[in-house]
Amino acid sequence: DVVMTQSPLSLPVTLGQPASISCRSSQSLVHSDGNTYLNWFQQRPGLSPRRLIYKVSDRDSGVPDRFSGSGSGTAFTLRISRVEAEDVGIYYCMQGTHWPVTFGGGTKVEIK
Amino acid sequence: EVHLLESGGDLVQPGGSLRLSCAASGFNFIKYAMSWVRQAPGRGLEWVSDISETGGDTYYADSVKGRFTISRDNSKSALFLQMNSLRGEDTAVYYCVRGIVGAFWGQGTLVTVSS
């Protein structure tokens, strides 16, 4: 199975400041169809996960543009340009290129 | 509006069985594969199983293969997960998800396996 490794595990951030989460995969996530199926999910406390980003950098409907995704191959990044209080929660990367789907262990974003 | 509502979670003894259901609405159910993803208390996300649009293809995580069965009733826009031979490590919130772990998730249903 593809191992997804996120860092850091915990990310204390100041309101209004940027934040960045790294996700690395144990093998390339480029699919034979040319797409890279790397998604990012946000899970706010007590709520279900919500997809923010799909195929590395495409934002889901309703997701604020302060969230952006980038990367290629085996290295990916989720960036929050200016952290707001509602961004507190756990963020997961997930790969859908190789069977089975696998998730990163999560990064907890909290306000300093 | 897409809506997924899970039900069927409960406290069950080790070795017992449970059937989870997911009622889907707000989209054309037959056009989408569907998934189950679980989250043990205080832990991360784990894909459990998924099923093709017609139900003809099903896939399982190694941890549940041979014990869990995914199915769907397209006439009722419903997804199911039959869980047999339950173990303590199956304790989790189980989420119904549209697509192969896509954008839309239900609120989850809690399964607790304990004596």
Measured distance CA(A3)–CA(A5) in Å, rounded: 6
A15-31 pLDDT tens trace: 999 999 999 999 999 99
Nearest to A4 by CA among A74, A108, A99: A74
Residue in B35, B44, B103 nearest the CB of A51: B103
* Per-residue pLDDT reduced to its tens digit, A51-110: 999 999 999 999 999 999 999 999 999 999 999 999 999 999 999 999 999 999 999 999
CA B103/CA B109 separation, integer angstroms: 18
Q: Which of B5, B45, B52, B60 to mutate to test the interface with A (most CBs of A within 10 A)?
A: B45
3-state secondary structure of A85: helix
pLDDT score of B73: 98
Q: Distance between CA atoms of B93 and B75, rounded to whole angstroms?
A: 26
Q: Pairing relation of β-strands B11-12 and B109-113?
A: parallel
